[in-house]
Amino acid sequence: MSVEVVSAGNAGAIIQGIDLNQTSDEDIDLIKNALGQYGVAFFREQSITPEGHIRLAEKFGKININRFFQAVDEYPQIAQVLKEPTQEKNIGEQWHTDHSYDQIPALGSILVARELPKNGGDTIFINMFSAWETLDTDTKQLISNLTATHSSRHVFGAQAYTQDTSSDLAGRLSNTSAATQDSVHPLVISHPFSARPALYVNPQFTTKVNELDETEGQQLLERLYQHCQNEALMHRFEWQEGSVAFWDNRATWHRALNDYAGERRLMHRITVEGCELTAAA
């Protein structure tokens, strides 16, 4: 079967004809190009092993050992994204960009479906290339030279958890004392693979616009967030047995839907280290 890249619509592309257990240099280049153009690469009918998952990730860079997620037994490189039938909270329900709180944010994450509910549990992605492109000219001019602060403290720190949420998330998220990351990034970045401009703020980890006072900054962020949450920028990915999604954190938002009460959902995630981000020209 020949390799084919097919647009998924508003966000992402489906890549067919690649076996993720044994990728060539040409395959890796093609995936990088897809990330730099579409933001997410989706794969179907894969039978990737944990070893293959690790091998694939290492072809894109150093693996980021997650500070807060439970690791998969015998595979510390793989984070477990789990919701048991008795648990109410899921992980990643709010719109966010992984690791924007790091000074050198992660390139992206490779998520593999291991156990799925009968219905539900989809992930929605937003295309941040398109989010930038569809802004009005005045807003583009306003934000082009601005920077924002991002933080992990209010999401993964001890102050983020009530007694109820701590109990429900026990064994899935931990290590609150490690939530000490703060970073500053441009609001509009140049994508490292394609140089395409992308809007780089997100509702979960961005805390302020540095060049504006608190009120103006929060108003601007809310306006940008509202702009991004437009169905014309979204793709809803329906997980199936053998599905894999590789999203680029520099070009997307995502959120996991929590619509499968009483069922188990288990995903394996590896996050790949990235590079320092620069402002779009």
Residue 222: phi and psi, rounded to 5, are: -60, -40
**Span of 62-66, 223-227, 242-246 with lowest mean pLDDT:** 62-66
Mean pLDDT of 15-37: 97
Q: Which of 250, 254, 255, 268 is catalytic?
A: 254
Q: Is 269 a catalytic residue?
A: yes
CATH 3.60.130.10 fits 4-272, yes or no: yes
Tell me the pTM. Answer: 0.91
Per-residue pLDDT at 152: 65
Q: Which of 27, 98, 102, 248 is catalytic?
A: 98
Q: Is 53 a catalytic residue?
A: no
Q: Which of 27, 53, 67, 96 is catalytic?
A: 96
Which DSSP string corresponds to 106-134? --EEEEEEEE--SS---EEEEEHHHHHHT
Q: Is 254 a catalytic residue?
A: yes
Per-residue pLDDT at 173: 45
Digit-coded pLDDT (tens) for 96-153: 998 898 889 999 999 999 999 999 999 999 999 999 999 999 999 999 999 999 986 5
Q: Is 25 a catalytic residue?
A: no
Digit-coded pLDDT (tens) for 157-204: 555 544 445 555 555 445 454 555 679 999 999 999 999 999 999 998
Per-residue pLDDT at 14: 98
- Give per-residue burial for 143-180: e unless 16+ CB within 10 Å, then b: beebbbbbbbbebbbeeebeeeeeebbeebbeebeebe
Residue 129: phi and psi, rounded to 5, are: -65, -50
* 3 state DSSP class of 208: strand
